[in-house]
Amino acid sequence: MAGKPSEKEEEYFIRMEFEKKKKLEEEKHKKLGEVEKKKIKELHYMRCPKCGMELIEIYYNGVHTD
């Protein structure tokens, strides 16, 4: 009789799903052309991932911070 899956089983399936998604993203990234990669970088470089505002780099206590 099938019962509740063990923690190891759940962890295994979660890991497999993660690996599958990671592989798909890597394949998608490989297919992007250099022009597309440059365009994406220009859109997102030095931008806040939450709101999209431009980040400013400052130097504080010997460390460069965005």
Q: What is the pLDDT of residues 4-44, one digit of tens each?
A: 778 889 999 999 999 999 999 988 888 878 788 888 888 88
Considering the domain architecture, whether residues 25 and 39 belong to the same structural domain is answered as no
38 and 66 in a single domain? The answer is yes
Count of domains in the chain? 2
Judge if 20 and 4 occupy the same domain.
yes
- Mark whether 27 and 38 lie in a shared domain: no
pLDDT reading at 58 higher than 60: yes
Structural domain boundaries enclosing 47: 34-66
Beta bridge pairs of residue 62 = none
Name residue 59's beta-bridge partners. 64
Secondary structure of residue 31 in the 3-state scheme: helix
- Kindly indicate the confidence band of residue 1, based on its pLDDT and cuts at 50, 70 and 90: very low
Site of tokens 């297919």: 31
Q: Where are the alpha helices (DSSP H) in 1-66?
A: 7-31, 34-44
**Are residues 63 and 47 located together in one domain of the fold?**
yes
Q: Do 5 and 27 belong to one domain?
A: yes
